[in-house]
Chain A
Amino acid sequence: MTNDELLDAFPGVRLDQDNAAYYRGLLDGELLINRCDDCATWHFPARSACPRCWSRSVTPTAVAGTGTIVLLTMLHQGSRKEGADYTVGHPLVAVELDEQPGLRLGGTVLGVDPRTVQLGERVRIVIRRLEGRGPRVDFERMP
């Protein structure tokens, strides 16, 4: 896939050379997070250096995709671009991935009664396609 095709697949996203692999991964159904080749530290969002040891050798690497909800808000108004339903409330969470303390992703929780989402819940990632904006990472409860 060319860079032009990648940009076309994610209109409205601030895509650049540092995060392109993350978005290419989403198109392939994979969540890739940058990991240091020298000290194995993960970081997000994607940058070109390891924040722990300053190595410039970092590799987008697949993660297990499981984690814990550490931040939660229920949105009652906002953008309708991504199909959010505000009638009951749209849950927005940050999930700490199991790979490393503090390694977090934001997204919504799918397939649940929004009123039942709680801090501390175990979730796993879902990569879903949204009309007109390309795939993105959200979450679902662990079965």
Chain B
Amino acid sequence: MNWFVNIFVAPFTEFSFMRHALGAILSLALGCGPVGTFLVLRRMSLSGDALSHAVLPGAAVGFLMYGLSLTAMSLGGFLAGLGVVVLAGVVSRLTPIKEEASLAALYIISLALGVLLVSIKGTSVDLMHVLFGTILAVDDPAILLVAGVATVTLITLAVLYRPLVTECFDPGFLRAVSKSGSVVHLMFMALVALNLVGGFQALGTLMSVGLLILPAVAARFWAVQVWSLSLAATLIALASGYFGLLMSYHWELPSGPAIVLTAGVFYLSSLCLGPHQGFLSRLVPKKHLKN
């Protein structure tokens, strides 16, 4: 029993920085599960990825003005993400250019701008912090921020649930019965930006999208309804956070990639073992029914 405690519990009882990190990553997972599920259902996985890059210049401006301050960088990142989302939405509504094309165009501008801004003042160590995160330095305000993000996310999703589901699968119908389509879409994209910013210190801007997308894609092999998909994605995200941190601690790996790679392992094993059209279920075909 001792070895079990040593591996799975002791790191968190012994070190407060590990407890902080665990609190932050578990809160993050709560919001990322359902938001990622909707992102995947809307076929916007890559747009979410693009958005994560767009967050960088905002964070960089915060960094330039206030140094490594989480509040300034998070607020800057959120505003930059929101700006790109709104701009892409406006461009796609007023011109024939599709939304994902606008997002792709804007995020790469945004990323270049961000790297430029960080390189003007910061050292390359700072740049590494911004890009890849430093979860092992999570302090109380950071935990409050992530917990706040998760709370806002879950409450907003509960309120928006019906229009959001409708907007996902039948936008034409929503347009016919209500004018809320664009608002719902924008609010959802704002939630994505919020969760990316929440994942920012833990995983870094480049990898914060990992906890959104990987658990949600993996969940599709385990569940077939929106609520069960969200639940499965959340559980996988929670497990990825916990095991990722343990890996990072025991083998002295950077926490961001460790957590995302753990989520990746969940994804790959779901791909093979998942009961809903995973590889293994294809190898063992079931007999057809009578009717």
Mutual binders A and B: no
Name A's B-contacting residues (CB within 8 A).
none
On B, residues with C-beta under 8 Å from A are none
